[in-house]
C-alpha cells in the first residue's frame, strides 16, 4: 500500500508537469506569444489560473467529483504501479527537448487496454484530418481578406477589438482543452475527488502554470512561434476560435479520450498550407518541411506509446516482476 501511494504521488506529479508543460502550449501558446509584449508574465498566469480553477470546479461539480469530465469512463481506476510512472517520465524528457508528442497516448497507454488505445488512435487520426481540412478551408477564406504574414490592423477600434478577443477566445479554448486533457493527469487519482484533494490539485496546477508562464512556454513554444503570424492578436484569435470549435465538437461526440496534440498539429498544418496557397511569395518548399517535422514528432510519440502498452500487457504484467 505504501509503495502504491508513492507511485501515485510520483506519477501524478510527473504527469501534471508533463501535461501542463507540453500540451498546454497548444492552447496558451498563442496567448503567450501575442500578450507577453503588453503584460507581465504573472498577470497572464493569473488569468489562465483563474479559468483553470473554474474549469476544474465545474467538472468536479457536474460529474460527481470527476475532474476529467467523464473522459475516463472506459479506463477504470487501477492501483498505481511503477510502470504507470514511467510514461510521464518519458513524456517529461521529450518535453524538455521540445518534442510535441501526444500526452494522451503516452500517459493513458499505460492504463488503457489495447482495444481502447486503438479507438483513441482512430479518433485522434480523424481529429487530425478534420482539423487540417477545416483549417485549410477557413484560412483560404481568411486569406482573401487579410495577410497574416503582417500585422496590418488599423484603427483604434479594431486594434482594441482583436487584443480583447484574444483574452476571451483564449479563455474558451483553455476551458475546452482542459475538459479533454485533464484526464491525462486525473487517471492517477480516484474518479471521485474529495474537496480537500480537489484543492490540492488546483494548487499544484496553479504552481505549474505560473512556472510555464515564467519560462514563456519553454522550448515547446517554438512549435507555435515558428508558424506564420502567431504573435499577432488577430491571428491568435482566429486560431483559438477554430481550434476550440473542433475540440468542442469532439468533446460532445463521445467520452473517448483523444489526442489534442494531433488536432492542434493538424490545424496548424491546414493553416500553413492555406496561407501558402493564397500567397505566391510564401513557398510550399518552406511549408512541407515545417509541417512534416511536426508530423514525424507525433509519429515518434505514438511509437513510444504503443511500445509502452505492449510492454505492460505482454511483458511486465504476465511476468509480474515487482
Q: What is the pLDDT of residue 147?
A: 62
Give the confidence band of 52 by pLDDT, cuts at 50, 70, 90: very high
Query: In this model, does residue 264 exceed pLDDT 60?
Result: yes
Residue 279 is part of which domain span?
2-319
Give the confidence band of 50 by pLDDT, cuts at 50, 70, 90: very high
* Mean pLDDT (whole number) for 289-312: 70
**Cα 224 to chain center, whole Å?**
12
Query: In this model, does residue 27 exceed pLDDT 50?
Result: yes
Q: Which three cell numbers stand for residue 15?
A: 504527469
Q: Of 37-46, 110-119, 291-300, 311-320, which gets the smallest average pLDDT?
A: 311-320
Are 45 and 214 spatial neighbours (Cβ–Cβ below 8 Å)? Answer: yes
Q: What is the pLDDT of residue 203?
A: 94
Burial annotation 274-309 (CB, 10 A radius, 16+ → b, else e): bbbebeeebeeeebeebbeebeebbeebbebbbebb
Query: In this model, does residue 90 exceed pLDDT 90?
Result: no
Handedness of CA 60, 64, 65, 69 (dihedral sign): negative
Residue where the block lists cell 484533494: 197
Residue where the block lists cell 473522459: 71
Q: What is the pLDDT of residue 267?
A: 87
Q: What mean pLDDT, rounded, does the chain reach?
A: 78
Give the confidence band of 321 by pLDDT, cuts at 50, 70, 90: very low
Q: What is the pLDDT of residue 56?
A: 94
Could you give the 3-state DSSP secondary structure of residue 240? helix
d(CA 87, CA 85): 6
Who contacts 94 (Cβ-Cβ below 8 Å, separation ≥6)? 22, 101, 106, 301, 304
Q: What is the pLDDT of residue 322?
A: 43
Nearest to 87 by CA among 79, 95, 76: 95
pLDDT tens readout for residues 204-249: 999 988 988 887 765 555 555 455 445 566 777 888 888 899 989 9
Nearest to 232 by CA among 294, 275, 289, 278: 275
Q: What is the pLDDT of residue 243?
A: 87
Q: Which three cell numbers stand for residue 259?
A: 489526442
Determine what percent of the chain is predicted with pLDDT higher than 70: 75
Query: In this model, does residue 58 exceed pLDDT 90?
Result: yes
Quote the number of domains for the chain: 1
Are 47 and 27 spatial neighbours (Cβ–Cβ below 8 Å)? Answer: no
Q: What is the pLDDT of residue 1?
A: 53
Give the confidence band of 101 by pLDDT, cuts at 50, 70, 90: low
* Mean pLDDT (whole number) for 28-45: 77
Give the confidence band of 159 by pLDDT, cuts at 50, 70, 90: low
Give the confidence band of 198 by pLDDT, cuts at 50, 70, 90: very high
Q: What is the pLDDT of residue 98?
A: 59
Are 90 and 109 spatial neighbours (Cβ–Cβ below 8 Å)? Answer: no
Are 220 and 22 spatial neighbours (Cβ–Cβ below 8 Å)? Answer: yes
Who contacts 91 (Cβ-Cβ below 8 Å, separation ≥6)? 14, 15, 18, 19, 22, 101, 103, 106, 107
Amino acid at each position: 500500500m505504501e509503495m502504491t501511494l508513492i507511485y501515485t504521488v510520483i506519477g501524478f506529479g510527473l504527469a501534471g508537469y508533463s501535461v501542463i508543460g507540453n500540451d498546454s502550449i497548444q492552447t496558451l501558446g498563442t496567448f503567450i506569444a501575442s500578450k507577453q509584449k503588453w503584460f507581465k508574465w504573472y498577470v497572464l498566469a493569473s488569468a489562465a489560473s483563474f479559468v483553470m480553477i473554474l474549469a476544474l470546479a465545474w467538472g468536479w461539480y457536474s460529474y460527481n467529483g470527476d475532474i476529467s469530465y467523464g473522459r475516463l469512463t472506459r479506463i477504470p481506476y487501477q492501483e498505481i504501479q511503477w510502470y504507470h510512472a514511467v510514461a510521464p517520465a518519458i513524456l517529461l524528457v521529450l518535453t524538455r527537448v521540445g518534442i510535441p508528442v501526444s500526452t494522451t497516448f503516452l500517459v493513458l497507454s499505460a492504463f488503457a487496454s489495447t482495444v481502447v488505445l486503438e479507438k483513441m488512435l482512430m479518433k485522434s487520426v480523424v481529429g487530425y484530418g478534420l482539423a487540417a481540412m477545416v483549417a485549410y478551408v477557413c484560412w483560404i477564406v481568411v486569406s482573401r481578406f487579410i495577410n497574416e504574414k503582417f500585422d496590418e490592423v488599423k484603427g483604434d477600434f479594431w486594434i482594441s477589438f482583436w487584443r480583447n478577443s484574444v483574452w476571451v477566445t483564449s479563455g474558451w479554448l483553455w476551458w475546452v482543452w482542459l475538459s479533454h486533457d485533464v484526464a491525462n493527469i486525473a487517471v492517477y487519482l480516484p474518479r471521485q475527488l474529495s474537496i480537500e484533494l480537489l484543492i490540492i490539485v488546483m494548487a499544484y496546477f496553479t504552481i505549474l502554470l505560473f512556472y510555464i508562464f515564467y519560462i514563456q512556454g519553454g522550448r515547446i513554444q517554438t512549435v507555435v512561434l515558428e508558424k506564420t503570424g502567431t504573435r499577432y492578436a488577430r491571428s491568435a484569435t482566429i486560431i483559438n476560435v477554430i481550434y476550440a470549435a473542433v475540440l468542442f465538437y469532439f468533446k460532445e461526440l463521445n467520452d473517448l479520450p483523444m489526442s489534442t496534440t494531433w488536432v492542434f498539429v493538424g490545424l496548424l498544418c491546414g493553416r500553413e498550407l492555406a496561407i501558402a496557397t493564397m500567397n505566391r511569395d510564401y513557398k510550399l518548399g518552406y511549408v512541407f518541411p515545417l509541417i512534416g517535422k511536426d508530423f514525424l514528432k507525433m509519429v515518434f510519440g505514438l511509437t513510444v506509446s504503443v511500445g509502452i502498452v505492449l510492454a505492460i500487457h505482454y511483458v511486465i504484467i504476465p511476468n509480474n516482476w515487482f
